[in-house]
Amino acid sequence: MSTPSTPPTPSTLSTLSTLSTLFRNGVVHSVDNPFATAVLVTGGTVAWLGNEAGADAFGTGARVVDLDGALLTPAFADAVVDAGQDAGDLLARAAGLGVAALHVHRSAPRELATLAALTAGQDAPLAVPFLLRFLSGVDDAVTLTRADPGLAGIVAVDAQTPEEVRDHVLALHAAGCAGGVRAEDEESLEIAIGGFQLAAGSVGEDAIRSRGYRLEVGAQLRGLGPEAPSHLRAGVDRHRLTVVAHAGGPSEEPVWADLDLAGLVRTGVPLALGSGGGQMRDPWRTIAAAIEHPLEAARLTALAAFAAHTRGVWRAGPVHPAGPQGRIAIGSAATLAVWRTGALLVQTPDEHAASSSTDPRAGIPALPALGAGERLPRCLLTMRDGHILYQA
């Protein structure tokens, strides 16, 4: 990847700022334009995307980055990063992995404030703060959100009874605060679903569904597997919960046990993927594990897993002021990553479908091959809202 400069001309200075950057001669992962090879970034947003002929016209006056065949995608976002790593080291590692935003979970408000200060500018990945805490009531929720207006949500952990979950959810609801509940095993999942049911009985099902509360689950959870009790799966759907599935930390081994990722996606449950644990996990490794799930019926397509580690995470957090995140489309935020990869293909759990979908006429954006023995993509550049966070 090289970055030659093209001097602006007087006729283009009025329409293109000197901060405009044209990425060209690459492979652009865009559902909106799967044949694109070039993207123009202006003022922190995607101003144009298209082919090389269009790049010749739209790129005048912009800084040009020759991708040299590299893959350009939306940058990753991580839905769950718990305490454990120094904040500066955490953000540096995130940027180097192509992660431009992470939902950081801490039990101390002061730690979240420190992270928020580190990401107040645009030269580091965005830390979206979630507090791990049971709410004692609506006054508790109001006090916490007033003390830290940037708090994205409050997540209850270690619930002992459905009534505890009910009170937590009702406090979130009354305070207009986002958040949810964490469930690491089938017992805690039963408690969580029961608590949401009790809360819905108090304020109405529509009120709960409209908030998109988080249900954070671990990789080893068996309560949402293909053979799980039907009332648990039905409860997730009925309350319109966003399932935030974390992989359990930086281990290089496959992570998913009985969690039916594909089943959740098929039934329309919003899904977001994250690292879990105290350190960042390479998102490509998490995606590869989702594709190679030990339960064949639970395997995600690469496209679905990638969406859950990009757009799905942004949807599970607050609305971003720079524009839509997690996709490359005109008007979306320029939160991007550039990758050096091996072969590209449209990868599904069915080998026949995967091989037939490499036909470019299929119009489906490709992703790196992530099967056994394949080398993981290497990040060359990470950008957040048009600002470079990392460059190899």
For the stretch 194-220, pLDDT in tens is 999 999 999 999 999 999 999 999 877
Same domain, 224 and 350: no
Sheet of 27-28, strand order: 27-28, 71-74, 336-340, 378-384, 387-391
Dihedral of CA 11/13/18/21: which sign? negative
Pairwise CA distance, residues 106 & 111, whole Å: 7
Across the range 345-363, mean pLDDT stands at 53
In a domain, 250, yes or no: yes
Same domain, 39 and 152: no
Position 355 scores a pLDDT of: 40
In a domain, 369, yes or no: yes
What six digits make up the tokens of 272? 């977001």
Q: Tokens 């470019």, residue?
A: 360
How many Å is the Cα radius of gyration of the chain?
21
What six digits make up the tokens of 100? 């431009």
Same domain, 250 and 133: yes
Same domain, 337 and 191: no
Which H/E stretch holds residue 118? Answer: helix 109-118
In a domain, 5, yes or no: no
Same domain, 40 and 68: yes
Read off the CATH number of the domain in which 24 is found.
Answer: 2.30.40.10
Under a CB-based contact definition with an 8 Å cutoff, are residues 63 and 324 in contact? Answer: no
Same domain, 308 and 379: no
Position 252 scores a pLDDT of: 58
Q: Which of 250, 280, 315 is the last residue of a domain?
A: 315
Same domain, 122 and 238: yes
Residue 57: Cβ within 10 Å count = 9
- % pLDDT > 90, the chain: 54
In a domain, 80, yes or no: no
Which H/E stretch holds residue 175? Answer: helix 162-175
Nearest of 10, 97, 138 to residue 281 by alpha carbon: 97
Pairwise CA distance, residues 282 & 309, whole Å: 11
Which H/E stretch holds residue 354? Answer: helix 351-356
In a domain, 118, yes or no: yes
Which H/E stretch holds residue 337? Answer: strand 336-340
Same domain, 339 and 257: no
| Residue 41: pLDDT band with limits 50, 70, 90 | very high
| Each residue's pLDDT tens digit, 369-383 | 987 788 999 999 999
Q: Name the 3-class secondary structure at 356.
A: helix
Across the range 46-71, mean pLDDT stands at 91
Same domain, 163 and 297: yes
Q: Which of 315, 343, 369 is the last residue of a domain?
A: 315
Position 322 scores a pLDDT of: 60
Same domain, 141 and 284: yes
In a domain, 78, yes or no: no
> pTM for the whole thing?
0.90
Same domain, 243 and 339: no
Nearest of 66, 55, 50, 70 to residue 16 by alpha carbon: 55
What DSSP character marks residue 51? -
Counting the structural domains of the chain, the total is: 2
Q: Which of 264, 288, 315 is the last residue of a domain?
A: 315
Residue 379: Cβ within 10 Å count = 23
Range of the domain at 28: 10-73+326-391
Residue 255 has pLDDT above 90, yes or no: no
What DSSP character marks residue 160? -
Pairing of strands 367-368, 344-345: antiparallel
| Residue 173: pLDDT band with limits 50, 70, 90 | very high
In a domain, 4, yes or no: no
